[in-house]
């Protein structure tokens, strides 16, 4: 009877009593963290001045790496604004303590578009530091190599792209040391990421919990609580506690009957 109840509960919760751990599905759109790996430093891109630059020549200090496309109607502009805002509130100096590289993953974007986009988002930053935020465009092969190297997965959807929103911290040697998710960031978090990158220390991302609990609303340009997902998780945990309660109660009852 006890076994039947447990199997029934597990079935209701959508679980299999003796199932193996499921294989994690391939991420089509999102982030596959590759902490500790080094980005390909030989890739070439065009900067906002239409000069060809090699990635390795630009990364010589802790570097914040971000991916956008310039006609994005959703997360890209809030992401860039979030970067500019946190930089303006940090006690570290852009250009001295760290650099920023933003790469467009749309091959139709041009250095001219990059230059226009940059003007929009460097207004919060000291004029002397603005040259240390680089906006790059490039060929498809190089874009695919760098996005795959950092685990940034995106997908064309008509004229637009479905993509994640994150910044990636690189060490002066190009090693991936931290992922920070979302479109706004705390100065302390970014400062710590810069300090860790300088030391070459790769750290796991605790903010992935927030990414699980919240979803970005492109219309409202904000994150909303994913109630359905949280309720499902809560129901699962509650069910597991109930199963545990049944097992403990059954054992106590059996022990009592044996004593009697």
User: Using one digit for the tens of pLDDT, what is the confidence trace for 184-222?
Assistant: 999 999 999 999 999 998 876 654 454 455 554 444 434
Look at residue 136 and tell me if it is in a domain: yes
Q: What's the CA gap between 102 and 64, in Å, rounded? A: 8
Where b means 16+ CB within 10 Å and e means fewer, 24-61 reads eeeeeeebebbbeeebeeebebbbbeeeebebeebbeb
CA distance 147 to 29: 12
Same domain, 123 and 80: yes
Q: Which two tokens stand for residue 9?
A: 């509960």
* pLDDT one-digit tens code per residue, 91-137: 999 999 999 999 999 999 999 999 999 999 999 899 999 999 999 99
Q: How many residues does the chain have?
A: 260
Q: Give the residue, 229 or 127, on which the prediction is more confident.
A: 127
Q: Do residue 12 and residue 52 come from a single domain?
A: no
Supply the DSSP symbol for 202.
Answer: -
Q: State the residue range of the domain holding 252.
A: 2-24+226-259
20 shares a domain with 37? no
User: Is 51 in the same domain as 121?
Assistant: yes
Rounded Cα distance between 81 and 124, Å, is 9
- Do 161 and 253 belong to one domain? no
CA dihedral angle for residue 167, residue 172, residue 174, residue 178, rounded to 10 degrees: -40
Does a structural domain hold residue 172? yes
Q: What is the mean pLDDT of residues 146-162?
A: 94
Q: Are the beta carbons of 155 and 162 closer than 8 angstroms?
A: yes
Please state the pTM of the whole predicted model. Answer: 0.70
CA 150, 59, 137, 190 dihedral sign is: positive
> Looking at residue 203, what DSSP letter applies?
-
For residue 210, tell me if it sits in a domain. Answer: no
Residue 219 lies in a domain: no
Phi, psi of 164 (to 5 degrees): -80, 170
Q: Is residue 213 part of a domain?
A: no
Q: Would you say residue 220 lies in a domain?
A: no
Residues 38 and 75 in one domain: yes
The closest alpha carbon to 117, from 166, 68, 82, belongs to: 68
Domains held by the chain: number: 2
Q: Do 48 and 173 belong together in one domain? A: yes
Interval 25-51: pLDDT, tens:
577 899 999 999 999 999 999 999 999
Q: What is the CATH number of the domain that holds 200?
A: 3.40.30.10
Residue 109: CB atoms within 10 Å: 22
* 72, part of any domain: yes
Sequence-distant contacts of 240-243: CB under 8 A, at least 24 apart? 240/13, 242/9, 243/6, 243/9, 243/10
Same domain, residue pair 154 and 250: no
User: Is the residue at 129 inside a domain?
Assistant: yes
Compute the average pLDDT of residues 9-35. 60
Phi and psi at residue 4, to the nearest 5°: -65, -40
Structure tokens at 194: 């810069």
Residue 257 in this model has a pLDDT that exceeds 80: no
Verify that 165 and 236 share a domain, yes or no. Answer: no
Same-domain check for residues 179 and 199: yes
52-66: average pLDDT: 96
> What is the pLDDT, as a whole number, of residue 114?
96
Angle at 190 between CA 125 and CA 188, to 5 degrees: 100
- Residues 71, 200: one domain? yes
Do 183 and 66 lie in a common domain? Answer: yes
């Amino acid at each position: 009877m006890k076994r039947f109840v447990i199997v029934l509960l597990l079935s209701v919760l959508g679980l299999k009593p003796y199932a193996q751990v499921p294989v994690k599905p391939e991420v089509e759109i999102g982030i596959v963290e590759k902490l500790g790996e080094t980005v390909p430093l030989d890739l070439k891109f065009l900067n906002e001045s239409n000069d060809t630059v090699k990635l390795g020549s630009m990364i010589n200090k802790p570097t914040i790496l971000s991916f956008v496309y310039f006609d994005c109607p959703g997360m890209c502009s809030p992401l860039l604004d979030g970067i500019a805002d946190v930089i303006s509130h940090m006690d570290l100096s852009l250009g001295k303590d760290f650099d920023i590289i933003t790469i467009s993953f749309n091959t139709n974007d041009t250095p001219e578009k990059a230059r226009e986009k940059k003007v929009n988002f460097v207004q919060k930053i000291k004029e002397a530091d603005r040259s240390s935020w680089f906006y790059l465009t490039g060929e498809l092969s190089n874009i695919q190599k760098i996005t795959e190297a950092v685990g940034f997965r995106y997908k064309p959807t008509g004229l637009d792209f479905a993509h994640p929103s994150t910044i990636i911290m690189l060490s002066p040697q190009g090693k991936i040391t931290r992922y920070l998710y979302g479109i706004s960031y705390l100065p302390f978090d970014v400062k710590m990421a810069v300090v860790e990158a300088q030391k070459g220390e790769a750290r796991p991302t605790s903010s992935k919990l927030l990414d699980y609990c919240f979803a970005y609303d492109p219309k409202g340009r904000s994150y909303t609580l994913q109630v359905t997902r949280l309720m499902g998780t809560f129901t699962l945990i509650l069910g597991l506690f109930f199963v545990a309660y049944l097992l403990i109660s059954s054992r106590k009852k059996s022990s009592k009957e044996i004593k009697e």
